[in-house]
């Protein structure tokens, strides 16, 4: 018996508005798990729940969303990753400087009155979270990877064979004359 396995060779494409982000055609499981574990560690260290962003501290949320971007970028082709993680320091509507590192960008912004750090590709949080879910589905086999965490895990499927039982309405005795 022989089985042939094919590998994806074309990048996965995420169309976001006028932009296209190109993701790796295939990602090795250990690389994906390492990147996902780093994301979870960062998220837990800040105490941010991606399912409930409303309760998060603004600075912690900003750093967590940055960690999500870095995770996503690790699964992108280089040009898309660079663009997706680029930070611009903006003052009065003008880009003063661009960075890849949040701390460096923040330090530079602190040296210029009224300057702030913004993502080069500004996206609503919901789009970032949707991208995260899509990438996990693509490269994680459709499920969030199971890694040690303080959070509760989803229930395992029940053991045994799935079958359909007899419906109580069909099992009941028919009434004559109806």
User: Tens digit of pLDDT for each residue in 59-98?
Assistant: 777 888 888 999 999 999 999 999 999 999 999 999 999 9
In a domain, 158, yes or no: no
Same domain, 15 and 67: yes
pTM, full prediction: 0.70
Residue 56 lies in a domain: yes
Q: Is the pLDDT confidence value at 7 over 70?
A: yes
pLDDT band at 148 (very low <50, low <70, confident <90, very high): very low
CA atoms within 13 A on the CB side of 21: 23
Q: Is residue 33 part of a domain?
A: yes
Q: Do 96 and 33 lie in a common domain? A: no
| Total structural domains within the chain | 2
Mean pLDDT of the chain: 80
169 inside domain: no
- 108 φ/ψ sector (left φ>0, alpha ψ -120 to 50, else beta): alpha
Residue predicted with more confidence, 120 or 29: 120
Cβ atoms of residues 90 and 116 within 8 Å: yes
- How many CB atoms are located within 10 Å of the residue 84 CB? 22
Residue 137, domain member (yes or no): yes
Say if residue 18 is in the same domain as residue 46. yes
Q: What's the domain range around 79?
A: 9-85+123-148
State yes or no: pLDDT of 2 exceeds 50.
Answer: yes
Q: How far is residue 128's CA from residue 123's CA, in Å, rounded to a whole number?
A: 7
91 and 81 assigned to the same domain = no
Same-domain check for residues 18 and 72: yes
Looking at the fold, whether 47 and 129 belong to one and the same domain comes out as: yes
Task: Answer whether residue 4 is part of any domain.
Answer: no
Whether residues 53 and 67 fall in one domain: yes
pLDDT tops 60 at residue 172 = no
One domain, residues 116 and 39: no
């Amino acid at each position: 018996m022989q089985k042939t396995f094919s590998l994806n060779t074309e990048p996965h494409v995420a169309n976001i508005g006028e932009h296209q982000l190109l993701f790796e055609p295939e990602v090795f499981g250990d690389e994906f798990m390492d990147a996902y574990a780093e994301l979870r560690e960062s998220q837990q260290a800040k105490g941010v729940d991606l399912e409930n962003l409303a309760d998060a501290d603004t600075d912690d949320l900003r750093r967590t969303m940055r960690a999500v971007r870095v995770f996503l970028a690790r699964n992108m082709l280089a040009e898309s990753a660079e663009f997706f993680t680029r930070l611009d320091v903006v003052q009065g509507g003008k880009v003063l400087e661009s960075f890849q590192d949040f701390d460096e960008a923040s330090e530079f912004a602190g040296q210029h009155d009224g300057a702030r750090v913004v993502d080069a590709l500004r996206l609503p949080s919901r789009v970032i979270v949707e991208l995260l879910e899509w990438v996990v589905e693509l490269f994680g086999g459709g499920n969030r990877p199971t890694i040690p965490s303080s959070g509760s895990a989803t229930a395992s499927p029940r053991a045994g064979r799935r079958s359909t039982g007899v419906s109580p309405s069909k099992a009941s005795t028919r009434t004559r004359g109806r």
